[in-house]
Structure formats: structure tokens, C-alpha cells
Amino acid sequence: MRLETITMPDFSRARDYIVLVPFGSIEEHGPHLPLGTDAIIAYEISLAASEGKDIIVSPPIYYGVCRSTKEHPGTITISGDALRSFARDIVLGFLRHGFKRFILFSGHAGGTHMASLVEVGEGLLEHPEIDYIAVVSIFDLIGEDIPIETKNDGHAGELETSLMLYLHPDWVKGSAPPDYPRFPRPILVKDKLKYWKSGIWGDPTKASKEKGERFFLYLVEKFRGIIEKVERFGGEG
């Protein structure tokens, strides 16, 4: 059930449900995809994967930590401290009402962003009423069996463009050329735009609505498997 559409009595009756909080970002996704792509995809996967299950799906959290793209027009990054504080307060707010099982699912898989969510998850385990919590990124759902052509597809490429063509085609503004940026690792640079002007990591030209449907069903199935693991989990692993 969607948190924003239920009533106070509905909420009170659902205290044994799992709480699923989708996270994303307001971040550039090339010249062709909307800034909210990560959160949009995470929310759609969450709604589909939770269908028929005892789960409350929170509205998506649109802001995240975007270190590599913060200079690109449209990216609004927040600090890791802000993300950790907000995520922690959301979970504790539900806990105050008796909920004890949580999944934090992020469509934005940046390293610093995910590290912040994992850190807040570990911190919440110090609470006496929380025995376990799931922290999942969309990349955790992707195995070698995903039917994708592009190798090293990472951002605004074949996968995300296909998903958006399937989920919200009216929000996709054409396509864009492939790009695979090369940062001068291990050197960290302030001007990341110099090495990644396009904001694309992959090949959007290989995207299609048909692929998007296949990708979506694949990701939903994988996420349902994780949800079912949480449903069965009792601390035994």
C-alpha cells in the first residue's frame, strides 16, 4: 500500500507490515532523461514488487548524495550527514508507531550515497527494537543474466533510458550519443565536468521501450526475492 494514500486507521492496522522507503536523487541524466530518474525508477519498482504483499511503500526521497555530478546543471546534492539524518528520522518515526521491519531501496547507487545509507542502517541496529534492516541499491538487483547489450552501463545509458521509455515515455527527450568517461584515477579532481561533460555512462542509443519492459520485469522479480528474504528473516540469516 502507498503511504500517502492511506488513512490513519489503515496505518494503525498495518503495524506488522514491512516499511519500504525508496531513495533516489535530483541529478542530471544526460540531455534526454529527467532529473528525478533514479527516484522515479526506484518508486515504480517498489510499487510493483510489493503488490499483494504486506508492505507500506513510502513516497520516494528525491534528494541524495551526488559527488561526481554535482557541477552538472540540474544536480542538487545533499551531504551524507543530511541523508543519514533524514533516513534515520524516517525509520525512527515509523518505529515510534510500532513498525520494526524496514527496507531502504535506492535507485541512485553512487558510492558515497550508498555508504551513507549503509552507515545509517548499521547505526539503527544499535536501537534495541531493531534487529535487522535491509539496505539495497538497484545495482544489487542486476546479475549477469540481465538481458543488456551495453557493457559497463552505469548512468543514463541503455538500462535507465529503456526503463524510462517504458515507464514514462513522455518524459524522455530523444536520445544521446554513448559516452564512457575516464577520470584520472587515483587522482581526485575538483572539475569533474572536464572529464564527464555528457553526464552519460553507457549507450542510450541501444535503449528501447521493449527492452525497458524486460528490464523492469527482471528488476521487479529480483527485488521481490529480496523482499521475500526480509519476510522470512528472523535473525537466523
Q: What pLDDT sits at residue 237?
A: 46
- Which of 98, 89, 93 lies closest to 120, judged by CA? 89
Non-local (6+) Cβ contacts of 224 within 8 A are 49
Q: Containing domain of residue 144, as a range?
A: 3-232
Q: Is residue 237 part of a domain?
A: no
Any idea of the CA torsion for 159, 162, 163, 167, to the nearest 10 degrees?
170
Q: What pLDDT sits at residue 235?
A: 52
Q: What pLDDT sits at residue 16?
A: 97
Q: What pLDDT sits at residue 13?
A: 98
Q: Which residue has the cell 513522455?
A: 170
35-69: pLDDT as tens digits? 999 999 999 999 999 999 999 999 999 999 999 99
Which range among 107-111, 119-123, 190-194, 199-203 shows the weakest confidence by mean pLDDT? 190-194
Q: Which cell numbers hold the place of 27?
A: 541529478
Q: What is the pTM of this model?
A: 0.96
Question: Over the chain, what is the mean pLDDT?
Answer: 97
CATH number of the domain at 150, please: 3.40.50.10310
Q: What is the mean pLDDT of residues 167-180?
A: 97
Q: What pLDDT sits at residue 112?
A: 97
Q: How far is CA 80 from CA 64, 116, 182, in A?
A: 8, 6, 25
Dihedral of CA 153/155/160/165: which sign?
negative
End-to-end CA, the chain: 27
Q: What pLDDT sits at residue 107?
A: 99
99-151: pLDDT as tens digits? 999 999 999 999 999 999 999 999 999 999 999 999 999 999 999 999 999 98
Q: Which residues pair with 134 in a beta bridge?
A: 103
* CA–CA distance, 23 with 38 (Å, rounded to integer): 8
Q: Which residue has the cell 525508496?
A: 22
Which string of b and e fits 62-81 if b means at least 16 CB within 10 Å? bbbbbebbeebeebebbebe
- Number of structural domains the chain divides into: 1
Question: Which burial class, exposed, middle or buried, applies to 37 when counting CB atoms under 10 A from its CB (0-12, 13-18, 19+)?
Answer: buried
